[in-house]
Amino acid sequence: MNILITGGAGFIGSHVVRLFVNKYPSYKIINLDKLTYAGNLENLKDIEDRENYKFVKADICDFDAMCRLMKDEAIDGIIHLAAESHVDRSIKDPFTFARTNVMGTLSLLQAAKLYWESLPERYEGKRFYHISTDEVYGALELTHPKGIEPPFSTTASSSQHHLAYGDTFFYEDTKYQPHSPYSASKASSDHFVRAYHDTYGMPTIVTNCSNNYGPYQFPEKLIPLFINNIRHRKPLPVYGKGENVRDWLYVEDHARAIDLIFHKGKVAETYNIGGFNEWKNIDIIKVLIKTVDRVLGRGEFEDLGLITYVTDRAGHDMRYAIDSTKLQKELGWEPSLQFEEGIEKTVRWYLDNQKWMDNVTSGDYQNYYSSMYDNR
């Protein structure tokens, strides 16, 4: 199988590429990435010389390039992660989000359609797997501000924290109600993917996952940004009151779900991915302070004073909470890590990989890798 993974130099994509390259030596894995500010080939240093791996620098919006690539590499399956992914950036620059997330996805869909329809077997054995987010469903209400036991039994390993902050969850058939330009662009791309199944019979799958955390996440997102700020004793800008709730999943558990769904998921289905792991931002921030201070040998909660409440994000969604029962029951997936373990691993990874962080924050990674591939 020749598999195209888009956005493989980004946070989640790099974990998916690593998993596939290591687990499937007989597949050829083509990582296509534009190397925007969020793409960093340093994330894949450990597998870059593998025989079953190839990197291609390209923009998914470049339709001719996508058509050539589908044919030249005889692509059988696509796992599409390339996107603009940060809500705050989408508020400042929505056009870039519409371009990459909507037009880029459409360009990839059409290139896949033209190539696969030109083959004698057409769509037989082919798959277009689109990675989306829970943010397309909009925002849930925070009806239990102190949290309650969730009304379903979570898997034993899934959560120690085990609280729900509302009575409702995002299900696969929850109505799309995106609020941010980011989630609106992802929602639009999801609709295009489903339309290609319904109109042309393309074997598509869409998954909607909750917030991911773990190594190699760009430090504009809450968890890596705050770990780095605590380390350097910089202020921690908490939006609003810090009461917003997010549902967190360790990135390698998302990558395992993607592997399972790519191989075993039913065509035209949607699967929600999440670990039943809701946290208020302010509580997570306290866990981060406690963990970083302990690992660095500082006094307990020595850095609590870094918390700085700032103006809220425009249109800030109050609560996200995924119900992933379908994935757990139908395909037997479950998260492997408890949150406390995942946070410990994550904090230690960022503290142990200060050079990675310094390269990213200084912008050095871009100069090095971009010029390397531009010259090819």
Tokens representing 25 are 């030596």
Residue 137 known to be catalytic:
no
The smaller minimum CB distance to ligand TYD, of residues 83 and 337, is found at 83
- Span 42-101, contacts to ligand NAD by CB under 6 A: 59-61, 81-85, 100
Tell me, residue by residue from 190 to 219, as one string, x for binding to ligand NAD by CB under 6 A and - for no binding: -------------------x-xx-----x-
271 in active site: no
Q: What are the φ and ψ backbone dihedral angles of 31, each rounded to 5 degrees? A: -95, 110
For 319, the 3-state DSSP assignment is: strand
Among 225, 267, 307, 357, binds ligand TYD (CB under 6 A): 225
Closest CA to 26 of 76, 99, 89: 76
User: Is residue 279 exposed (0-12), middle (13-18) or buried (19+ Cβ within 10 Å)?
Assistant: buried
88 is catalytic: no
In the list ligand TYD, ligand NAD, none, the entry touching 244 (Cβ below 5 to 8 angstroms by class) is ligand TYD
Smallest gap from residue 34 Cβ to ligand NAD (A): 3
Distances in Å between the Cα of 148 and the Cα atoms of 151, 158, 171, 200, 208 are 9, 16, 19, 45, 24
Positions in 312-351 near ligand TYD (CB under 6 A): 313
Q: Could you say which of 115, 129, 165, 182 is catalytic?
A: 182
Query: Torsion over CA of 179, 182, 184 and 186, rounded to 10 degrees?
Result: -140
Return the closest-CA partner of residue 179 out of 273, 83, 311, 316.
316
CA–CA distance, 15 with 145 (Å, rounded to integer): 34
Nearest to residue 130, comparing CAs of 231, 258, 273?
A: 258
Determine, following the binding rule CB under 6 A, whether residue 222 of this chain makes contact with ligand TYD.
yes
Site membership for ligand TYD, residue 90 (CB under 6 A): no
Nearer to ligand NAD, 82 or 193 (CB): 82
Q: Which residues bind ligand TYD (CB under 6 A)?
A: 87, 211, 221-222, 225, 237-239, 244, 246, 281, 313
Q: Which residues bind ligand NAD (CB under 6 A)?
A: 6-7, 9-13, 33-36, 38-39, 59-61, 81-85, 100, 104, 131, 133, 186, 209, 211-212, 218
